[in-house]
Structure formats: C-alpha cells, structure tokens
Chain A
C-alpha cells in the first residue's frame, strides 16, 4: 500500500513482480534486475532462469514445483465448480506435472473486493476469472498483464476465440485477458401459468407490462405471486430494460452521462419498473424476498431474465418444473440484452509461464466443452462447433448475443453501478421520481467518469 514515491512506475511493476515471487512459491529470484524497464526482462527476472529460458517455447516443463492460485466466482456448490475441481484441474495437473492449481471460490462481489484489497498487498493470485465489467478498473490500477505484449503465442490463442468476446478484455489496443465464457440473459417463463392465463410469451415491452399485471396476485394456496422477478437493481439488471426501450447510460465515448442517463427513454424504463413494483406486479431485489431460483421453481415468480446457467440450477433443484424461454421483450430500441461473460486474466505478480499454460488450458476446446455441459457458453470457436454445444440448446442465447451490448467499459464502473443501484432503489420506494433521481445520478456519474 505504501510504495516509495521515487521509483518510476515501470520499475515499480518490476519490483512488485519480484516481491510477490519472492514471498510466493518460486524460491529463486534475484533483486539485481529490479531496475529493468523492459517488461519481458522483468518477466524473466521473476522466474528461475531455467523457466525463463523455456518460456519462449512454452512447452518445456517448469524446473520446480509451482502452485498456481486461481480465483473464480463459480459458486461453491455449483456444477461448474464440481467440473473445475474434479475434471479440469486434475486433467491440467496431469498434463503439466509440477504445476499444482489451488482454485479458490469467492462470492461474485467478494471476488472484486478481494482483488482490490490484494492489489494493495502483493497477495494477488496468479490467475483469476474476471467479470468483464471489472477489466477496465483493474487495468487502470496496472495489475493486469498485457498478454499480447508478453506472450509470444498470444495471437494464435486469440484467433481461436470469439472476437466479440475478446473485445471485452481489450483496452487501448492491448489485450488484458482471454475470453473464458460469454453469456447474456433471455426471458424465462412459467409455461403452465402462461397457458392457464391464455398468454403467449411477451414479444414487446408493452405486452411484458400487461403480462406482469395479469400474472401477479394470489395463487390457489392464497400466497402472493409476482409476474416478474429481478434480483437486483444494478446495471446488469436494469440495462436490458433501458436499452430495449431506447435509453442509454452514457454517450458513445463513455465520457458523459447527462443527457443519456436522464434521457426521456431511460427515465421511462425506470418509471415502468417502478410502476410495476408499486402495483406489486414485480419484485425480487429486496433482502426479504424469496431467492430467484426457489421463487421461480415454486411458481411464485412467473418470469425472469436469466442466463444459461439457470438451466442446470433449475434441473438440480426443481426437476419437475416446466418453463420455456423467449427473447428479451422488444421496445423502441429493439430486443437488447446485457452482455455478460467472463475473461480469464493474469496479474503481473503471477508465475507467468504456468499461469499462461493454465489460461490456455481453460480456453481450450476440451475445457470449454466440459464447462458447456454446466451451462457456460464457450468462447472457443471449435468448442462452439462441438456436439455438446449443439445439443445444449444455447441457440436462444447465441441469437440474443447478436444484439447484446456490454455495460460501460470504464474504470469507475463498480462505483457507478453502486450509485445507480442506490438511485433506482429510491425511485422504487417512491422517495423520488425517476426523473429527479436520474438527473441527480447523471451529475454524479459525470464526475465519476471524469475522474
């Protein structure tokens, strides 16, 4: 945290590498090269000499035991985590003797905070699965390795992955991660309830509003039911509504929010949700609500916008439950969902040779196909063509991905996201009108974008 002010930034990066390797797993590191300004040399300095020599070919085995720390946010009890720990890591360790992978599961929000904290302290992991929305922030802090500059075979690897997904890790012409999986949200609905009410899946936002109202109320057991569930009020949750209704968060250059975040269309989208909430037609973001999966599976929530992982979750917890999917209801802006997906990135304190091997493995056809079985849409082009993927019913997501947009790729996104949540919450609770809240918010976001 407290760094010497006099060292220039690049040398500092070098020093950070050394410090981390020194206290980490690689015993051999020399202080003498700390002044090197060339990042390639830095990288070599961080490794035992033999490893560094082997690096260019990236095929020779590391000379000594390496433990690779990999942080991710596959939740601890998920099928993805099972696959990771029981299938992928053993396979990787078998193929790469001498490298042990220590995978650590964090909660999504926790992972972000942990990386921020660790960045202050030379305790970063080697590799992490990053929500693509975080990449700009971490890049700005200077903790991610520009892969295209440091890995000689980067282009070969990148060419095998989806271009659209790879752009999420590109900042200023450099690539700070490999696209690990892509996703977006589509509409899930309770088939039985829709049939009973004589409804079709809503194709437009107007129909969506109507359906929410019709499907909410009380069920036969006298319990309250809701037309739609939204588990949060962050960008991930609100963007499909804002964009589909023709609104936006910022201008194209992502430098200004006033005039966009408080535009007529954006305000209308927020107001629409607030009205539905006031009529008790939608719910979900409150602490006391039934969790999304349980509420949908037990027939209390009739619709959701969710990603491909929901399929295996529902199959596990509510195997009897019948549901169908449809595209995000279209508004004046079209049917536009939010681009999700994760990148796998390496921190500049990493054991780069081993980390790169692991990243290549995780984006390989084999690993991507295994993960596809748990609902992760691959970014590896060959895996996308595999039978597993063809049989996995990813088609609706892949269709929706064509129009999906990514959230602003700015370093202050986490903070903007949090302010957005707070403002929209106050609108939902009737403390402010949507216009007031968005006007204030736009000013705050302008300041954050200027930072």
Chain B
C-alpha cells in the first residue's frame, strides 16, 4: 500500500517534470525546426511546428557557412570570450587571495566597493565607458570589449573565489611559508591548485557573459568583420521590414554549439560555482 502510493507519487513527479521540460524546450526546438525550413515557408499558413519532410533544407546553413564574415564573427566571439575568461581568472583569483588572507590597509573598503559594483547594472555605465574607450582608442576593436568585460566580471568572480579561498585551510599557507615560500609561491602552489574547481566554474559563467553580451558590443563595434555573434545575429533586421528568419535561426543554432560544448563538458564545475557563495552563507 505504502509502496504503491510512493510509486504513484514518483510517476506523477516524472510526468510533471517531463511536462515542464517540454514547455521549456519547445522554443528551442522551434528555433531549430525553423532554421531547417526554406525561407518561403516562414509565413506559411497554417504555421507548422516541424517542417514538412520534403521541405527540410540546409539552404540557410549553407548560406551562413558560405559567408566569410560569419566565420570572422565566430572567431571574434571565441577570442573575446577566451581572453575575458583567462584575464579575469588570473586577476580575480589574485584579488580574492589577497582579500581573504591579508589584512592590508583599505581591504574592507575595497571589498565593500567590489560588492557595491556587483549591484550596478553594467549598462548604466555605458556612456562614461564609451567615452573611456574613445580615449583609449579601442573603439571598433575587440580590445574595446575585453578589458570592459573583465572589469564587469571581476566583482562577482572575486566574491565567489574568495569563498573558495576561505575554504582552504590556512595551515597549508603557513607550511609553505615555513619551507621558505613567499606570497607568490603560496598563491601559485597552494591557492590556485586547491581552488581550481571554483575558478573553473566561475570561468564558465564568465565565458557565457562575454559570449552573449549585446549592448556594449553593439555600441563599440562598427565593422561587419569585427562584430561578435550576437551583433551579427541581430544585424539581420534591415530597414525594409524584411527579415530572413531562416538565416537568423541558422546562425543562432550554430552560435549555441560552442556554449553547449563548454557547458556539457564542465557541468560538474558549473553547479559548484553558482552555489559556492550561497550555500556557505
């Protein structure tokens, strides 16, 4: 009796989960299916969720792949995301290490300021940041993106990595100092290896941030070839009220692939990174 009730309950939960999952995934599926339709069928009536079998076509993908500029956009996105991740991992972990371990003057103020900047939406600073990018002559270049992205992710990354550093027993530091190590050796040989999972998880998050960022890149970048993928995707909307949704979604699907690879291969880190700060509290 008890067993039966439990099984029934389990079945109900599965049904609910699958139902929810279908609703969540539907828009994604529709995107993929639309990218496989010929452009003429996009305003067909009645609208079809799946393309008719004989209609399925790769023409949208062929078009996207035949355009050299989209390859360039793809490489730009990769370069920007990888640089953002690498630089922010290095500087944030150093900041986190120092704040967690040493009582240097201004430490509290610095940490408070870092927390405060987590709160301010990045987009609100777009005017002075634009002015700054102009002064640094980094407009219309990926160097107008990377340092700004790094600066945006530093607060959250530092906050999270600090949590991981505090989880490393300080006896390990002491032992290294005893052996004649200095601050750098502790950072490189103790802190980095032991907080690697945390840094990795934050890095995935930062990769996603840089990969999908839209308003800033849209403001700073002009040339077709220097655009990142989100800008290239939104660039399909022209002035004559004529949008080739097939191309839009084909490029969208292609741009999702790297992020899927990163996410699925680093799944286990991901969860830790998101929750480290919260669960500890």
| Tally of chain A residues near chain B (CB < 8 A) | 38
Residues of A with C-beta under 8 A to B237: 107
A291 B235 Cβ-Cβ under 8 A: no
Complex CA–CA separation, A290 to B243 (angstroms):
10
**Closest Cβ–Cβ distance, residue A246 to chain B (whole Å):** 29
Complex CA–CA separation, A25 to B45 (angstroms):
53
* Chain A residues in the interface with B (C-beta under 8 A): 1-2, 23, 71, 73, 75-78, 102, 104-109, 114, 117-118, 120-123, 125, 221, 223, 231, 290-295, 298, 309-310, 313, 317
Quick one: which of A104, A125, A298 contacts B43, CB cutoff 8 A?
A298
B223 A292 Cβ-Cβ under 8 A: no
Judged by a CB distance under 8 angstroms, whether B55 is at the interface is no
Given A1-B131, A108-B239, A121-B134, are A77 and B139 neighbors across the interface (CB < 8 Å)? no
* Chain B residues in the interface with A (C-beta under 8 A): 39-40, 42-43, 45, 130-131, 134, 137, 139-140, 219, 222-224, 235-244, 247
**Closest Cβ–Cβ distance, residue A437 to chain B (whole Å):** 25
Complex CA–CA separation, A317 to B140 (angstroms):
34
Given A121-B134, A223-B45, are A292 and B238 neighbors across the interface (CB < 8 Å)? no
Name A77's closest neighbour in chain B (CB-CB). Answer: B244
Residues of B with C-beta under 8 A to A77: 236, 238, 244, 247
Quick one: which of B131, B139, B239 contacts A73, CB cutoff 8 A?
B239
In addition to A122-B134, A309-B240, 4 A-B residue pairs with Cβ atoms within 8 Å of each other are: A23-B137, A75-B238, A104-B224, A117-B219
B224 A105 Cβ-Cβ under 8 A: yes
Q: Can you name 16 A-B pairs with beta carbons within 8 Å?
A: A71-B222, A75-B242, A76-B224, A77-B244, A78-B240, A105-B224, A107-B238, A117-B219, A120-B134, A223-B45, A290-B43, A291-B241, A291-B242, A291-B243, A294-B242, A317-B39
Residues of A with C-beta under 8 A to B247: 77
A104 B242 Cβ-Cβ under 8 A: no
Best-surrounded residue of B43, B219, B237 (most CB of chain A within 10 A) = B43
Residues of B with C-beta under 8 A to A23: 137
Quick one: which of A73, A104, A290 contacts B222, CB cutoff 8 A?
A104
**Closest Cβ–Cβ distance, residue A294 to chain B (whole Å):** 5
A76 B238 Cβ-Cβ under 8 A: yes
Quick one: which of B39, B134, B223, B242 contacts A313, CB cutoff 8 A?
B242
Complex CA–CA separation, A291 to B39 (angstroms):
14
Given A105-B224, A122-B134, A293-B242, are A76 and B43 neighbors across the interface (CB < 8 Å)? no
B222 A114 Cβ-Cβ under 8 A: yes
Name A292's closest neighbour in chain B (CB-CB). Answer: B241
Residues of B with C-beta under 8 A to A105: 224, 235
Complex CA–CA separation, A324 to B142 (angstroms):
48
**Closest Cβ–Cβ distance, residue A284 to chain B (whole Å):** 8
